[in-house]
Chain A
Amino acid sequence: MEVKEREAYQAVIGLEFHAHIATRTKMFCGCRVSYGDPPNTHTCPVCLGHPGALPVANERAVELGVMAGLAMGCEVAPRAVFARKNYFYPDLPKGYQISQYEEPICTGGHIDVPTSSGTVRVRIRRLHLEEDTAKNVHVGTSGRMHGSTASLIDFNRSGTPLMEIVTEPDIPSAEAARETALRLRDILRAVGASEADMEKGQLRCEANVSIRNPDGSLGTRTELKNINSFRFMERAIERELRRQREIVASGGTVRQTTIHYDPEDDEVYETRSKEYAEDYRYFPEPDLLPLQLSEEWVEGLRARLPELPEAMRARFIEQYGLSEEAAGVLTAERELAAYYEEVASQVDPRQAANWISGDLRALLNESGLSISECKILPGHMAELIGLVQSGDLSRSAAKEVLERSFETGERPQEIVEREGLGTVGGDELSGIVERVISSNPEEARRVREGDRKVVGFLIGQVMRETRGNADGGKVREILMEKLGS
């Protein structure tokens, strides 16, 4: 029944992204881009919209925008025009936002998105550059404008470079929408165009959600706003699709509205009726000349494009013999991939993948650190894996060393030596085995008589004596030798 309904009401989803461009300075002035600094510490007449101040386009932001477009196979316009988007809001210092409208910098292109039901090609409609607004802070209990006692404005964000990326409504499911967002994030990170961290607000997403009716006609679309994590994205869209299907199935019609998703109770709410469209009175920005982008310049950027996540994933599987999953994890972040490759060049690549995508990533997640902040250098990581491979360190002891090294940045070898965590072997191990045999005469006798079931018990005793720092195979070898069987 449910499957049938889904087929009858096929999802039609388009996504709109706003990504902060990873420049040092703002879109139209020299102020530093910063997050979390004290309010209004990075401002000037331009980003405050003071009378008479004029914008000057940030060349680096243009470059990064074009590189992001090229990475998605977009066409770059030879001429792009900035336009004014006029509306009144307290966090909009000029009364308009400088954006692009009729002549965006990039059009076309696509992202190939793997999903559980096959790869979906999501076409890109456009990519354009614009500036961010300032940030309203409402003082009072709720943090919302309504009921607050005062509103303060932080202009540090005002004029931060943004790119807006709009997809065609090609996305057939909530899962595909989430995967699209993840792929996009990976691409933006790969080219260095944006850090695209959703939690930090560097990547914001809106979804236009509608369903196709059984007769093939397209239903009314709603706008799902304020999607601020990949996790909630899928759930929010899923929830909204369910709402629309229920409305239509019961003979109702979907209204064109803005929808807000509340993850607390997994519920969607209509926040604003959109019966009239806002008139932004766009017109070409007279304070900025059109961008003239020569073919040579564009080709120069294309040549500088790094290996993209898709290609890198395929290469990791091929070159290092990794699973699809491990390759996906390791290529999701540029720095992590580079870290991995450095380690893999020194030790067994598959072991390196296990350690980095498993134990190390778990430690990073727990501590909230990024790989670039990780204290364990790739050389040290390789050393640690090498110790395990050569049998000089047991796996459980290695985990302990990893944790120590992660905290302090110490060399694994040094920790092993100081803490005596190295594998017990040679004469020492022989001595321990002998001691275990003489203090367990009954078990030793049964082994001599051919009862193999108690071998495990004796090995366990040896391991306990060495606190786990012995190679199991080795222990068995010595034990059997000494018991003469």
Chain B
Amino acid sequence: MLELSAFELAGKIASGEVSAREAAEAASERVEAAEPEVHAMITPTPELALERAGRVDERRARGEELAPWEGVPIAVKDVLSTRGVRTTCGSRILENFEPVYEATALARLGEPVVVGKANMDEFAMGSSTENSAFGPTRNPWDLSRVPGGSSGGSAAAVAAGEGWWALGTDTGGSVRQPAALCGIVGLKPTYGRVSRYGLIAFASSLDQIGPMTRDVRDAALLLSAIAGHDPRDSTSASAEVPDYLAELDRGVEGLRVGIISEMMGEGIEPGVREVVERAARSLEEAGAEVGEAHLPHQEYALAAYYIIAPAEVSSNLARFDGVRYGMRVEAEGVHEMFRRTRGRGFGDEAKRRIMLGTYALSSGYYEAYYAQAQKVRTRIIEDFRAAFSRFDVLLSPTSPTVAFGLGEKVEDPLAMYAQDICSIPANLAGIPAISVPGGLSEGLPVGVQLMGNHFAEATLLRAARTVEEASGFRFEMRP
């Protein structure tokens, strides 16, 4: 059972061949076995999983029809609000915070069999999950290495079989980069495709919830479950949700694929580049037209991102002040209480970005930094528009390197930030992007990134499916 995909498991649960309870038990056993080494979870929730699975089985027994994703155990990044289950965002400041409501994406799953709240960089800021206040997660492929970040816990949980799939969030690559480093599929949908209600904001204009799965078909299935308009999120799109599964095996015949030149040069490990080139060839062999695409303003994307995201962070994190929930350090006077609570509650990376963002928004610097970064963002959107007038899908590495060693980049924030160099542009433009394993380099997985136009998830999934099949890479539980 542990080797099945989520799609296959859901089929067996629906037919009664496997009970949801059995699946939940198997997942919880895996959590128990793998956690001491991997530490993918901040809060394992075996009882909750069993209780919810029991309800799924009861409903089936009553003859109710189950949704095609129900009963499949899931790991949930600890940034998504879960009613009555502590939601920490990887931060001390929310160490004991229990939300009073459920995030829309989770509620859409019906009776989500949550096996645990997955580890993450504090408030989703980081590329290695080493910024978690609850200790780092390890890469199931090599326990001395990072799983990527900030959804590293979710990625590691899926790679280690602690859940059949997971939900992560992606602000600058946080679903795709850890998926690439852990050898799984990670999809960042179009901005607005999935409701952000209940997603504790990092950078509101960039954040998006995405599936992290064993294969592309699972990603299509999980996206079908969570996509769609939500009246509680004004920025969620009202566009109709297509049947992603139905379109999956249509192939790539005639699809125009552009390899982004600016993401294939300096800074990209040769082994990574090789895997991406191989993926391009396999698409060509499957009938796609492959050419060279350009994003001329790509070199400014990282800089713009590191102004816009911290600016929003500095505002989004202001609510954590010790007044209403979470941690409070008592002090004489309210401002001193704010100061001490935030001083003790936030980690270094959170503080660094709050400072950066506060500076970028302050009067006198706003024009030079924030306004300028927004102009760059507009240019990047125009770059994509031009590229999508020639190509249906753009191709690049997801991450410039394979998984690096724990502690290797902790002291060098700029080197850490460069990890997201290939993934950030999609967030700035709000377009969908997927990372699919394309093969190995130095024995470690390499992610291939495919980007599409707004709401072109179905096309992306088709192309990703082709790459996946040609790569010969198959999901295998680790360690």
Contacts and interface: CB of A to CB of B under 8 A. Distances in A.
B334 A51 contact: no
B318 A48 contact: no
B231 A93 contact: no
B198 A52 contact: yes
B87 interface: yes
Interface string B63-101: 000000000000000001100000101000010010111
B199 interface: yes
Contacts of A153: 323
A282 B367 CA distance: 12
A51 B99 contact: yes
A301 interface: no
A362 interface: no
Contacts of B231: 56
Given A52-B201, A283-B370, A287-B234, A95 B312 contact: no
A88 B101 contact: no
Contacts of A287: 201, 204, 234-235
A96 B234 contact: no
A151 B337 CA distance: 13
Contacts of A282: 361
Contacts of A84: 315
Interface string B219-262: 00000000000011111000000000000000000000000000
B43 interface: no
A88 B85 CA distance: 28
A94 interface: yes
Contact of A289 (B198, B203, B234): B234
Interface in A256-305: 279, 281-283, 286-289
Given A49-B324, A88-B338, A90-B323, A57 B234 contact: yes
B358 interface: yes
A310 to B, nearest CB: 37
A54 B196 contact: yes
Contacts of A45: 99-101
Given A95-B319, A95-B321, A289-B234, A53 B362 contact: no
Given A52-B198, A52-B200, A93-B324, A281 B361 contact: yes
A279 B364 CA distance: 10
A282 B235 CA distance: 20
Contacts of B89: 51
Interface string A22-66: 000000000000000000000001001111111111000000000
B interface, by DSSP: helix, strand, loop or mixed? loop
B315 A86 contact: yes
A146 B276 CA distance: 65
Interface in A54-89: 54-57, 84, 86, 88
Measured as residues with beta carbon below 8 angstroms from the partner, the interface class of chain B is: 35 or more
B92 to A, nearest CB: 14
A329 B315 CA distance: 48
How extensive is the interface on chain A, given as a class?
20 to 34
Contacts, number: 101
B97 A51 contact: yes
Contacts of A50: 81, 99-101, 325
Given A50-B325, A51-B89, A96 B199 contact: no
B441 interface: no
B130 to A, nearest CB: 23
Nearest to B102: A52
B233 A54 contact: yes
Given A90-B334, A95-B319, A52 B370 contact: no
Given A86-B361, A287-B204, A48 B324 contact: yes
Contact of B234 (A48, A93, A279, A288): A288
B428 to A, nearest CB: 13
B133 to A, nearest CB: 15
**Candidate in A45, A52, A53, A151 with the most chain B CB atoms within 10 angstroms:** A52
A278 to B, nearest CB: 10
Given A93-B324, A281-B361, A286 B101 contact: no
Interface string B315-331: 10111110111000000
A151 B87 contact: no
Contacts of B42: none
Contacts of B370: 283
Interface in A444-474: none
A51 B200 contact: yes
B103 interface: yes
Contacts of B201: 51-52, 287
Interface in B325-368: 325, 334-335, 338, 358, 361-363, 366
B117 to A, nearest CB: 14
A51 B87 contact: yes
A84 B370 CA distance: 14
B334 A151 contact: yes
A279 B311 CA distance: 14
B94 A51 contact: yes
Interface string B260-302: 0000000000000000000000000000000000000000000
B205 interface: yes
Interface in A193-248: none
Contacts of B334: 90, 151
B338 A286 contact: no
Contact of A86 (B97, B318, B325): B318
Given A95-B319, A153-B323, A281-B358, A54 B94 contact: no
A94 B233 contact: no
A88 B315 contact: no
A51 B315 contact: no
Given A50-B101, A289-B234, A281 B324 contact: no
A50 B199 CA distance: 11
Nearest to B357: A281
A48 B196 CA distance: 17
Nearest to B337: A90
Contacts of A93: 319, 323-324
A113 to B, nearest CB: 34
Q: Which of A53, A57, A94, A281 has the most chain B CB within a 10 Å cutoff?
A: A281
A286 B94 contact: no
Given A45-B99, A90-B323, A90-B334, 7 more contacts: A51-B320, A52-B196, A88-B321, A94-B319, A96-B318, A281-B315, A283-B361
17 contacts: A45-B101, A50-B101, A50-B325, A52-B200, A53-B198, A56-B232, A86-B314, A88-B321, A279-B363, A283-B311, A283-B312, A283-B315, A283-B366, A286-B203, A286-B235, A287-B234, A287-B235
Interface of A: 45, 48-57, 84, 86, 88, 90, 93-96, 151, 153, 279, 281-283, 286-289
The 4 A-B pairs of least Cβ separation, nearest first, read: A95-B318, A286-B205, A286-B204, A281-B361
